[in-house]
Amino acid sequence: MAVRSILLYPDPILKQVAEPITAVDETVVSVIQDLVDTMVDSGHSVGVAAPQIGVLRRVLVVDVSKSKLGKDNNHGLLKMVNPEIIEKSGSKMMREGCMSVPDYTGNVTRAEYIVIEFTDRNGQLRVIEASGFEAVAIQHELDHLDGLLFLDRVSSLKTDLYRRKGK
């Protein structure tokens, strides 16, 4: 459909909680496709959430299959409506970046394993297990639906936040 502009921190929309979706209609399918197009167009993103394109709805996409960290353990392109983590375990610290915070990366601790329930683009309820980098990416995008950025999860802005090279 369309490559959309990514909102940049400190845009206030990024700090708002997205609204649940009551039905997967043409509007929602269009947002999903815009998210996929925007993620693919970036050339490096492994996920995008609707608030990042200015849409305060609970929709996100994740695909870690082309990343060296996720290529051997993934579900391919995930299109999630109203995603909710129903189980999690383990703990993993990883350096995260975000298209909405392009100048920085930071160390964030997240669950290493999750079980997530969501509605797919066909309106079907699905439950999947994710681990490693895919689980981290899903949790990162899910945070966007709750008005959180990775900056909110960095334990110390002084020691765990890094300026990207070339910025």
Q: Which residues are catalytic?
A: 141
Flag whether pLDDT at 63 surpasses 60: yes
Indicate the burial class of 88 (C-beta count within 10 angstroms; 0-12, 13-18, 19 or more). Answer: middle
* 3, 41 Cβ separation under 8 angstroms: yes
Query: Rounded CA gap, 156 and 129, in Å?
Result: 30
Of 14, 5, 8, the closest CA to residue 149 belongs to 14
pLDDT tens, 72-91? 999 999 999 999 999 999 99
Mean pLDDT, residues 65-72: 95
Of all residues in the chain, what percent carry a pLDDT higher than 90?
A: 96
CA–CA separation, 124 vs 102, rounded Å?
34
Rounded to whole angstroms, the Cα distance separating 50 from 144 reads 8
pTM for this prediction: 0.97
Please say if the pLDDT value at position 130 is more than 90. yes
- Give the chain's domains with CATH numbers: 12-163 (3.90.45.10)
The pLDDT tens digits of the residues spanning 95-125 come to: 999 999 999 999 999 999 999 999 999 999 9
State residue 167's pLDDT score.
Answer: 53
* Rounded distance between C-alpha atoms, residue 110 and residue 136, angstroms: 6
Q: What confidence category does residue 164 fall into, taking pLDDT thresholds of 50, 70 and 90?
A: very high
